């Protein structure tokens, strides 16, 4: 442990980040920026090739940044045998929900299987993927402890160095002893939940405080030291369960409060009250109130998913999380509410949803990013199509509608101009990108159904 600790502190260790998406790629960039030799692992060959060519595939991550870290030695690969040459392994793979809102750990488990043959003594393995409390102790720890016949590698050596040694003297017949991993002594496990907020210009991987934990005291010490090298502040907690629960709490807090304002939006609409005016007025209170804003539903990989990880785990210990589940029901019902409002708006010009041409503004789950994971826009499109509408969309961040786990629309982004906008019976503002020309949209649209409170209600602008 001592030598591993020293190499991390001196930035001589090699860092491996598995999963080069919205979480893993910024993390790998940060390590590279701080002078660590960094290897990014991903099964998507297209991502690997683009990164090694200095290209980006995430809109808010500048290509210049990718080009710089590649020139500094960063490389991407799909070859998991490279794991043998890294000192710290950080797993940043998806943790979606199954068909019945149960945790799907298949990406984590397949990653563990992929790296298993290449794990060696004195490595630090950290999970960053969001999951239910207990995952690290119940899944990662037993997996590592079950591995047998691990090569005993000196803390200062790497697999590649041993291979060089054997090549230099083939007659040496070097034999290395075998052992099992003892966590906290010759192998180390930590958990540190990601806190990325794509597109947030006020906070970055470096400036967002990082919660860290370890399975043992030594594991925690190494995990903290590692992240201390790339973030301004680490927040150590007593166990991986606490760290896992912290991440879940953060997102349940948001999901419940968004569910509350989504429900209040529907009440306010019936009472002819502008909910956005109410929220903005309440937000002037300097204590005891935090503003949350309604929308067409929840998107992204955290808020719509993470609360259900806890509800599933809670049932395992005999508790029903009614409050969390109620918020989930409200948030999941918001696309239905939007479709209802579309129908009501069309009725004002004697049209029905069936046969109407409808333009959806925004596929991304939030403004100014190209992240469409769990975006409610897809559900709204699907529901309107099933009711017989002719649907198109416009999103400057997503020129082609990406295939998701649930939906596969053969659609391309429509360019916004007077002619294209006038060709639609209604426009649904689902994601309020700042780059949209709202003056043009308001002037040329026959009807607008605004789900984000971006526009002032009028005879042609309806709040949803």
SS3 state of residue 394: strand
pLDDT at 161: 45
Contact 56, 229 (CB under 8 A): no
pLDDT at 177: 59
Q: Are 345 and 459 in the same domain? A: yes
Q: Are 431 and 362 in the same domain? A: yes
pLDDT at 179: 75
User: CA 360, 361, 364, 367 torsion: positive or negative?
Assistant: negative
User: CA 51, 54, 59, 61 torsion: positive or negative?
Assistant: positive
pTM of the model: 0.89
What average pLDDT does the chain have?
93
pLDDT at 167: 40
Residue that terminates a domain, selected from 183, 212, 237: 237
Q: Are 224 and 293 in the same domain? A: no
Contact 364, 300 (CB under 8 A): no
List pLDDT tens digits, range 426-446. 999 999 999 999 999 999 999
Q: Is residue 7 part of a domain?
A: yes
What are 261-268's contacts with CB under 8 Å, separation 24+? 261/292, 261/293, 261/294, 262/294, 262/295, 262/330, 262/331, 262/334, 263/330, 264/294, 265/294, 266/337
CATH code at 304? Answer: 3.40.50.720
Q: Are 205 and 281 in the same domain? A: no
Q: Are 226 and 363 in the same domain? A: no
Is residue 92 annotated as part of the catalytic site, yes or no? no
Q: Are 305 and 384 in the same domain? A: yes
Q: Are 228 and 311 in the same domain? A: no
Q: Is residue 376 part of a domain?
A: yes
With tokens 């005291």, the residue in question is 217
Residue that terminates a domain, selected from 211, 237, 263: 237
Q: Are 365 and 218 in the same domain? A: no
Q: Are 370 and 297 in the same domain? A: yes
| Element (DSSP H or E) covering residue 390 | strand 390-394
Q: Is residue 269 part of a domain?
A: no
Q: Are 218 and 355 in the same domain? A: no
Closest-CA residue to 257 (of 327, 332, 334, 337)? 327
Range of the domain at 216: 2-237
Residue that terminates a domain, selected from 214, 237, 260: 237
Low-confidence ranges of the chain (pLDDT < 50): 154-168, 170-172, 174-175
> Burial of 247 by CB count in 10 Å (0-12 exposed, 13-18 middle, 19+ buried)?
buried
Number of domains the chain is built from? 2
Helices (H), 271-375: 275-282, 306-316, 322-347
Q: Are 317 and 182 in the same domain? A: no
Choosing from 150, 220, 237, 302, the catalytic residue is: 302
Q: Is residue 256 part of a domain?
A: no
């Amino acid at each position: 442990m001592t030598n591993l600790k020293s190499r991390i502190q001196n930035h001589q260790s090699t860092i491996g980040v598995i999963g080069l998406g919205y979480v893993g790629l910024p993390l790998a960039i940060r390590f590279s920026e701080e002078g660590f030799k960094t290897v990014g692992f991903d099964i998507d060959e297209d991502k690997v090739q683009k990164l090694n060519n200095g290209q980006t595939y995430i809109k808010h991550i500048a290509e210049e940044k990718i080009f710089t870290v590649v020139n500094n030695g960063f490389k991407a690969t799909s070859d998991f045998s490279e794991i043998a040459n890294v000192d710290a392994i950080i797993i940043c793979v998806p943790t979606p929900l199954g068909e019945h809102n149960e945790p799907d750990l298949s990406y984590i488990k397949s990653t563990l299987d992929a790296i298993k043959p290449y794990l060696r003594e004195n490595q630090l393995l950290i999970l960053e993927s969001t999951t239910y409390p207990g995952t690290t102790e119940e899944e990662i720890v037993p997996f590592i402890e079950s591995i047998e016949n691990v090569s005993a590698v000196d803390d200062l050596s790497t697999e590649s160095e041993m291979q060089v040694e054997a090549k230099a003297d083939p007659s040496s017949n070097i034999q290395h002893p075998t052992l099992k991993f003892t966590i906290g002594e010759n192998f180390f496990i930590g958990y540190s939940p990601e806190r990325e907020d794509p597109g947030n210009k006020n906070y970055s991987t470096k400036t967002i405080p990082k919660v860290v934990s370890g399975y043992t005291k030594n594991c925690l010490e190494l995990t903290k030291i590692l992240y201390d090298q790339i973030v301004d502040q680490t927040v150590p907690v007593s166990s991986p369960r606490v760290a896992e629960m912290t991440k879940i709490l953060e997102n349940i807090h948001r999901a419940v409060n968004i569910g509350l304002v989504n429900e209040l939006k529907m009440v306010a609409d019936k009472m002819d009250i502008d909910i956005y005016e109410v929220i903005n007025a309440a937000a002037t209170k300097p204590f005891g109130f935090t503003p949350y804003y309604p929308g067409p539903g929840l998107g992204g990989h955290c808020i719509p998913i993470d609360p259900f990880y806890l509800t599933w785990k809670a049932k395992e210990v005999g508790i029903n999380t009614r409050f969390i589940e109620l918020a989930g029901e409200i948030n999941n019902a918001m696309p239905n509410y939007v479709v209802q409002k579309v129908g009501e708006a069309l009725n004002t010009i004697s049209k029905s949803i069936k046969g109407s041409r409808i333009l959806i503004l925004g596929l991304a789950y939030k403004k100014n990013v190209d992240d469409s994971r769990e975006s409610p826009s897809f559900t709204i499109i699907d529901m309107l199509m099933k009711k017989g509408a002719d649907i198109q969309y416009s999103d400057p961040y997503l020129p082609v509608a990406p295939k998701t786990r649930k939906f596969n629309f053969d659609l391309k982004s429509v360019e916004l101009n007077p002619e294209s906008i006038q060709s639609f019976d209604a426009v649904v503002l689902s994601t309020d990108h700042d780059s949209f020309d709202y003056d043009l949209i308001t002037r040329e649209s026959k009807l607008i159904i605004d789900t984000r409170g971006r526009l002032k209600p009028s005879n042609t602008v309806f709040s949803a």
